[in-house]
Structure 1
Amino acid sequence: MAVAGLAVTNVASAGAADGRSRPAHDKALQADLEALVADGSLPGALMSVRNRDGRVTNYTAGVGDLRTRSKVPTDGYVRIASSTKMFTAVAILQLADEGKLALDDTVEKFLPGVVRGTGAGAAVDGRTITVRQLLNHTSGMTTEMPLMPRGILPIKDRYFDARELLDAALTQAPTYGPGQDRAWGYSNAGYVLLGLVAQKVAGRPFAEVVTERIINPIGLKETYYPGPGDRDIRSPHPQGYLPARDDAGKPTGDLVDITRFDPSIAGAAGQMIATPSDVNKFLVALQGGRLLKPNRLAEMRQTVSAPGFPEGWRYGLGTIEMKLSCGITAYGHGGDADGFQTRTAITPEGRAVTVAVTNDEVGRGEVLTFFDKALCAKE
């Protein structure tokens, strides 16, 4: 499961550049990728597949820029959104391996007096929330993002400090009421808090923690955590879009280019940018033991029920267990940042797939069906 020396085949939207199918090109997957973008609501799609034998094939479909009608760049950079949570979880688990924290430690141990809810969030208390509960979304932290009540457009150029995100979340009601058992609830705020924990324990900015512990050691040349004020995406990249809405909030049928915005609103929960093939390299390194010891990886894959997720999906520690239609269980994540929808996973045999489309608000069911098929494919 080595990352180095992978064979690579690039496939353009209409097939191989020389007009002939390459050995690793799955024509059925290419046709299905084309079908995803056929009606134009998803302008572009790109995918990287790493086969069990280490061969990498990159696919594209649609257009990369609606204004210029340029092609989708092969293996271009995209916002991976909540797949960032895998990186955050790995950083926390590495710190646990080093004895710098324990998963059942409370948040209070590392951030004394910081996590105290107010108003509707008065029941949220860092003295009763553990690191493990943050990792598997059973902490009770809000599922809302209160600083973007009207979506990304009004705040697209606004920088948010992680503490500001946390303080806003602490005004929100928890996912369980007084006297109730803890309820599972997918919480970006919980992962923002994990970023603060990792930063405090490691003694370095969170972006540096991820870069020095994960990105650099396994040679991810096309993965990065955007710095303060960085609103752009490295080239090459497709443009990201969201549906335009009228004053009443109803879609107009047009698409708005939202490629450029400040991703700090997501922080350690979803700020990162990468190419699909680099995300697959991360999954290969993780499964191959280059980032976590086997017992920690097994712990990462211990799951809880995740109401609201697709049938057969459960949540671990920053990773999703996915039961596929072919009977295989894969592990990965997904993410929806404004303009980009991504899904990524690896099977036990080492087949890794990352697919991205350039509109995060439509076609989610169709993308998941395609993603399942790509993971289950034999070649």
Structure 2
Amino acid sequence: MRRAFGATFLAGMFLGLAACVSGPSQQQVELQAMADGFLTENPDVPAVALAVIDAEGQLAGAAAGEAGPDGESMTPAMPVRIASNTKTYVAAAVLRLWEDGEVDLDAPIGGLIDPELAAMLDGDGYDLQAITVRHLLMHVSGMPDHADDAYVAIVLDDTSRQWSRADQVALLVENHDPLGPTMSEFRYSDTGYVLLGDIIERTTGKPLATSVRTLLGFERLGLETTWWEQAEAQPAGTAPRARQSLEGTDTTDWNPSMDMYGGGGLVGSVEDLAVFWAALMRGEIFARPETLEEMVSAPGHPFPEDYRLGVFPRGEGDSEIYFHGGFWGTIAGYSPAQDVAVAGVVTDQAGVRNLAAIVMEMLTPTEAE
């Protein structure tokens, strides 16, 4: 739990950001104090980084702690594995294809996914003529998650294993049965986004990494420290990835294929995360404003309080915000009321709940607004 310092300091910083009374340099000072204070309150976390884009489009970032065993200082430009934050990028890529008439959100997935994957799922009782692309995006396909505690145990047993998309779907089939009819239950499912990654590849005829990069315009947005691990080379001039850990266990050198096919896979800095979220929510990625509205409202979702299309919601009405998190300790989101994007990372997953509390408080509008 955060102590009084966190809440008190955060309130002051939040008002400064919302009112835009302080320039970028002042925001930088305030963010740095927040990062330093976070490490004081969370001594088991090696490093933290934060980035904010305010309503004027000014980017401010700060970090504290060591990013590696050799004492390298953490920075907000240092790449990290963003894990499930990748889902927002994947959902946006699917929606770009929908804009272009290349994908029907309400089409059954049976004819869209690799026949090998379809055969496995069909043989386990999944109705591939009932499950649609939209169902996968909303996590209401009736499909559980292959990436459960048992999966983590398998990965821990051999962290160098090279996983394929088919391996992960096979694990789902082996360990889980369908939950029930589509739309009957919200169940967060990495497997569903692994299938969406396959649909993107088969629709574009290009690798997932290339497709997402092109559809979302990484270069145009200036996402210079974002790439798809293993599938793309690390961009020249970027810092080495910060070392990330799972409650003290260093996971940096684990084979990235464990989480690489659409449920996760991207590496990026918190600065890039904030830039992406601001661009996405300000309508700079989609060709039509209706597409962004489709993403954030998810018409027809039976559980709209739980998820939309690639984003989590929180609050309601004018106070609603959108966000996503990643297993290794990242969280990013956007407040429409403030027109502010925030992203953060802790380099040990043990600190992610406390980080999330700070980021969510930064995004939540105050009564004065």
Normalising TM by the smaller chain, what interval?
0.7 to 0.9
Question: Which of 252, 267, 271 is the aligned partner of 1:277?
Answer: 271
1:180–1:105 CA distance, 2 compared to 1 (3 A):
closer
Q: 1:258 aligns with which of 251, 270, 275?
A: 251
Verify the 8 A CA contact 1:333 1:345 in the aligned structure 2: yes
Paired residue for 1:250? none
CA distances 1:100-156 after superposition (whole Å, capped 9, x unpaired): 12101000122375424569x822232221000000100112223268341543332
**TM-score of the superposed pair, with normalisation by structure 2:** 0.81
| Counterpart selection for 1:317 from 298, 309, 321 | 309
Q: Is the 8 A contact 2:142 2:179 kept in 1?
A: yes
One-letter identity of the residue aligned with 1:100 = E
**Alpha-carbon shift at residue 277 of structure 1 (Å):** 1.2
Counterparts of residues 1-379 of structure 1 (less than 5 Å): 22-25=25-28, 27=30, 29-38=31-40, 39-65=42-68, 67-111=69-113, 113=115, 114-117=117-120, 122-145=124-147, 148-150=151-153, 152-174=155-177, 176-177=179-180, 182-214=184-216, 215-228=218-231, 235-243=239-247, 255-266=248-259, 267-292=261-286, 293-303=288-298, 304=301, 314-323=306-315, 328-336=319-327, 340-348=328-336, 349-360=338-349, 362-376=350-364
Shift of 1:285: 1.8
Residue 347 of structure 1 deviates from its aligned partner by 1.3
Deviation track 1:325-346 (CA, whole Å, cap 9, x = no partner) reads xx7322231111xxx3001011
Distance 2:353 2:263 in 1: 23
AA at the equivalent of 1:344: A
- What is the distance in 2 between the residues matched to 1:208 and 1:219? 16
Distance 1:353 1:181, change over 3 A: closer
Structure-1 separation of matches of 2:253 and 2:135? 33
Question: Structure 1 229/346 Cα, relative in aligned 2: closer, same or farther at 3 Å?
Answer: closer
Cα deviation, residue 69, structure 1: 3.3
Partner SS, residue 214 of structure 2: helix
Residue 34 to residue 376, structure 1, CA distance change in 2 (3 Å): farther
Distance across 1 between alignment mates of 2:58 and 2:275: 12
Question: Contact 1:115–1:170 at 8 Å: present in 2 too?
Answer: no
Counterpart Cα distance in 1 of 2:365 and 2:25: 16
Task: Give per-residue Cα distances to partners, 1:134-180, cap 9 Å, x unaligned.
Answer: 00100112223268341543332222222222232233434524x79
Relative to its length, the structure with more helix (as a share) is 2
Question: Matched residues in 2 for 1:144 and 1:110: separation?
Answer: 20
| Worse overlay, 105-114 or 142-151 | 142-151
Deviation at 1:351, TM superposition (A): 0.7
How far apart are the structure 2 equivalents of 1:228 and 1:52? 34
TM-score by length of 1: 0.79
What amino acid is the match of 2:254? Answer: F
Instruction: Tell me the distance in 2 between the aligned counterparts of 1:160 and 1:229.
Output: 17
Structure 1, unaligned runs of 5 or more: 1-20, 244-254, 307-311
Structure 2 unaligned runs (5+)? Answer: 1-23
CA RMSD, Structure 1 to Structure 2 (Å) = 3.0
C-alpha spacing 1:227/1:180, structure 2 compared with 1 (3 Å): closer
Q: Structure 1 122/151 Cα, relative in aligned 2: closer, same or farther at 3 Å?
A: closer
Paired with 1:276 and 1:35, the residues of 2 have a C-alpha distance of 18
Shift of the 271–209 alpha-carbon distance from structure 1 to 2, 3 Å rule, reads same
Deviation at 1:46, TM superposition (A): 0.3
Quote the Cα distance in structure 2 between the aligned partners of 1:322 and 1:301: 11
* Identity in percent: 25
CA distance in 2, matches of 1:258, 1:276: 19
The amino acid of 1:302's aligned partner reads S
Amino acid aligned to 2:272:
D
Distance 1:203 1:195 in 2: 12
- CA change 1:363–1:123 in 2 (3 A) is same
